[in-house]
Structures are given as C-alpha cells and as structure tokens.
Structure 1
Amino acid sequence: MPVQLDDTDVAIVKSLMEDGRKSFRAISREIKVSTPTVKARYERLVNMGLIKAIKPEIDLSKVDKKSKDEFDDTLESLKKQKKHFHVYVEGLKVKLKCEFCGGPIHGKPKVLKFAGFERFFCCTQCRVSYKDKHGGRIEMLKEQYKKR
C-alpha cells in the first residue's frame, strides 16, 4: 500500500513546485507550520524518493540566439527522456520499496532514523538485517552528525 501524504507534505511539494529556491523559513510562513517541521518533512520526502532534485526553470527569452539553439537541442533531448514533467499532487500517494530486500512496502513502513536520514522497510526483519549489514556506516554517520 502506498504511503498517503498529508496536507503539510502536499503543501511543501506545491510550494517547491512554484519556486524551488524558497527557503524552509519562507515555506513555513506560507503554509503556517514551523521551519523545523518543513525541514524535517522535506528531508523525509527526499528520503522517500519523492523529491529527487530541485531543478532550475530557464527563461530562454533571456538567452542569446546562439546559446538558445544549444538550449533548444538540450531541451528536446530532455523531453525525449521525459526528464521534465509536472505532477498533480492532490491526494498524492508514494510507492515505497524496501531499502533492504527491494520489495514493495504494504501498509505502514518500518522506519529506521539516524543522522538526519530515514530508511524505509517492509518488515522488522529487513530493518534489523539492514542495521546489521550497515551498522558501522550508520554509527559513523551518527558521529559525524553529532559534530555539526
């Protein structure tokens, strides 16, 4: 079962779609939640794989003719690769794959949080196995995170 995003998640995604340069503070004022909430939710959306990147929208009318031709070629290439698209976000659900076994996550995912990261699993056994396999790396990341 896909994970249902709540109104706050949807509002953050919509805000970033309007202007990906907005700060967490600007988004928090716009949607009337705290800045740490926006930051945490953004990181969760990135960790879930819903937000892959924040990309610039280029105004080609500002580019000179020679450069514009090169941009047009690049844009056509991106369109063929389906790299640019708009997403309808109302009632958005995200399909998650288990970080350990790669299988689909049905129902509520089992979550492992560490050092500002979140990893999602289909079952507690996969979560435990992931911790066993990557325990050293997880501890190192926790130590680095504490030093910030």
Structure 2
Amino acid sequence: MPFQLDDIDIAIIQSLMKDGRKSFRQISREIKISTPTVQARYERLVNVGLIKSVSPIIDTGLLEEKAEKRLGSIKTKPSQAKLTKTMILKMSCDLCQGPIPDKPHPLKIANFERFFCCTTCRAIYKEKYKGRIESLNQKLKP
C-alpha cells in the first residue's frame, strides 16, 4: 500500500530540514499540533524509510589545521573530506563578533553556553541581557 504524505508530515520534514536539532516540542509549537502527534508522525516517517537519519552539516570554513612547528604554528585550510584532532575551531565573540584568539570566556545560560573574547564583553552581555538570562535560568529550575 503506498504511503501518502499529508500537510503535517511535510511540515515536520521541513522543520527538521531547517534545524535537525529541534525537539518534538519545538516542532509541535512551530506547526501547532501536539507533541505526541509530532513524535508519532516522526517515528512513522522513520519506519516507512523516508527519514533515514538526521545528520549534522559541518561548516568546514570555521576549521583550521594547526601544525605545530618549532617557531610557532602554521594554519592552513582543512580538507573537506577529513576531520582530524589537529584542527581548531575559529570562534567569534557573541557580543562584539571579534575573533576569540586563545581561550574563550564562556557564560553558561540555562542549558547552553555563549562564548566571549574577553571578560569585558562577557560582563557587558550579562548586564545587557540580565532579565532574559534570569528568566531562562528560572525556567530550567525544577
């Protein structure tokens, strides 16, 4: 018996294509149906073989190969085919968008982190978004 996609199936697939990390709850709010319905539909789409996997898309432009030399390090573009332990991630500050040269200064908010180039940027961000940060942290508490 052929399987016919409906508007709900299509909406779930499109939502996952935009961001495969979304939870069933996030998708249900987005397409305005219940979370159990999203979960059941997703499992059905997997069982019939339409969804084979939800895979990450890696932005290799953010990676650099770091080769240690006696006089320092040489950075080259990574090959798109292979990820290695010698690669480093080029990060930018979540406030000023400037590069994070060495060790980032993280700020944990609820269940995710923001990264900053310096303690000043981190402090400004905390002050600027103080209310939102408190709200998110409160929602996470049991």
TM-score of the two chains, using structure 1 as the length reference: 0.46
- Which structure exhibits the higher relative contact order, with contacts defined as CA atoms closer than 8 Å and separated by 6 or more residues? 1
Larger radius of gyration: 2
- Please state which structure has a larger fraction of its residues in strand: 2
TM-score of the two chains, using structure 2 as the length reference: 0.48
- Please state which structure has a larger fraction of its residues in helix: 1
